[in-house]
Amino acid sequence: MKKWIVFLLLLGLSLAFLPIAGAGVKDIVKIGSDLVVKEGMRVGDAVAIGGDVTVNGVVDGDAVAVGGSVILGPRAVVDGDAVSVGGTIKKEEGAIVYGDEVEVDIIGIPWAVTSVCKGIGLGLFWPFRIVVFIGFLALALLIVAIIPKPIGKISTAVEKNTLKVFLWGLLGMVLIVPLVILLAVSVVGIVLIPVEIILVGCAFLVGYIAVAQLIGNRMALALKKPDLNMLWGTLWGIIILGLVGWVPFLGWLVKVVASVLGLGGVIMALLSTRKS
């Protein structure tokens, strides 16, 4: 447990001093939007998460786009590496990159799928939402059937230490993006970004299912059926969360809380496993 606390403190300190690394030149990091280094500008590292990096000036460090492309104009100068994860590097004649040019193609990158869904209006298409819900329900039951003990352990952690689990979940969510940024500024770390995305996605999925199972168990107790099968408990929990999720604002809030609790439960379960 102490090792984890020390690790988190060191990570926080490294993030706090990250802007100093540019030796007087300001680093620029943007999340969810494009980053543009205009002609005449000089920056340290230029990093965009979920957007493009367009360079027409000078980048003393690396130009990195995670979920976007690196676009180098004719007067662009990059002293470090030009890296695109999930996009391409577009280099006009006259652009200079002294380091490596790296493209990492990731099929099914999350924000690409989100953009497509928004673009064609699938978020408002009720039949599609119902099909997705049924598919998710089937996946949840399959996961519970394959790994019932870990799901039960996470569910127990959420039930017995709700506040502590919630705080761990918040901390985990806060550290997701900074960790991506730290990985993105090095060529070696870029290889680990897809691994982090997959692990975080799995943690949210398993944690959410465990919270749903807990909700189903609570409902069974309220109906005086304490011996409800784990699969049935998960089924009812997913249905309850799904129905509540369609209520404006309240549904969104409930799902966010369930997701945070689930992530915190996964973290606590992993910590208790290491401790034992």
pLDDT tens per residue across span 175-234: 887 887 777 777 667 777 778 888 888 899 999 999 999 998 888 888 877 777 788 888
Do residues 56 and 149 share a domain?
Answer: no
Looking at 104, 137, 156, the residue that finishes a domain is: 104
What is the C-alpha separation between 272 and 276, in angstroms, rounded?
6
Q: Is residue 256 part of a domain?
A: yes
Residue 48: what pLDDT? 82
Give the residue among 22, 70, 73 at the shortest CA–CA distance from 45. Answer: 22
**Confidence check: pLDDT of 99 > 50:** yes
Q: Is residue 77 part of a domain?
A: yes
Looking at 54, 71, 104, the residue that finishes a domain is: 104
Looking at residue 6, its amino acid is: V
Do residues 90 and 28 share a domain?
Answer: yes
The confidence band for 250, taking pLDDT boundaries of 50, 70 and 90, is: confident
Question: 100: domain range?
Answer: 21-104
- CB count within 10 Å of CB 275 equals 8
Q: Is residue 113 part of a domain?
A: no
Averaged pLDDT, 146-171 = 90
Do residues 91 and 134 share a domain?
Answer: no
- Quote the pTM value: 0.58
**Confidence check: pLDDT of 111 > 70:** no
Do residues 50 and 146 share a domain?
Answer: no
Do residues 166 and 247 share a domain?
Answer: yes
Do residues 193 and 140 share a domain?
Answer: yes
Q: Is residue 14 part of a domain?
A: no
Do residues 134 and 268 share a domain?
Answer: yes
Contact of 250 with 244, CB cutoff 8 Å: yes
Looking at 51, 72, 104, the residue that finishes a domain is: 104
Which carries the bigger pLDDT value, residue 215 or residue 129? 215
Q: How many Å separate Cα 164 from the centre of its chain?
A: 21
Do residues 91 and 37 share a domain?
Answer: yes
| Number of domains composing the chain | 2
Do residues 137 and 173 share a domain?
Answer: yes
Q: Is residue 266 part of a domain?
A: yes
Do residues 144 and 253 share a domain?
Answer: yes
- CB count within 10 Å of CB 160 equals 10
Burial class (CB within 10 angstroms; exposed 0-12, middle 13-18, buried 19+) of 141: middle
Do residues 137 and 242 share a domain?
Answer: yes
Residue 247: what pLDDT? 79
Q: Is residue 40 part of a domain?
A: yes
Q: Is residue 3 part of a domain?
A: no
- What residues are paired with 73 via a beta bridge? none
Do residues 40 and 129 share a domain?
Answer: no
**70-72 sheet: strands from edge to edge:** 35-37, 53-55, 70-72, 89-91
pLDDT tens digits, residue range 25-58? 688 878 777 899 999 999 988 888 778 899 999 9
Q: Is residue 6 part of a domain?
A: no
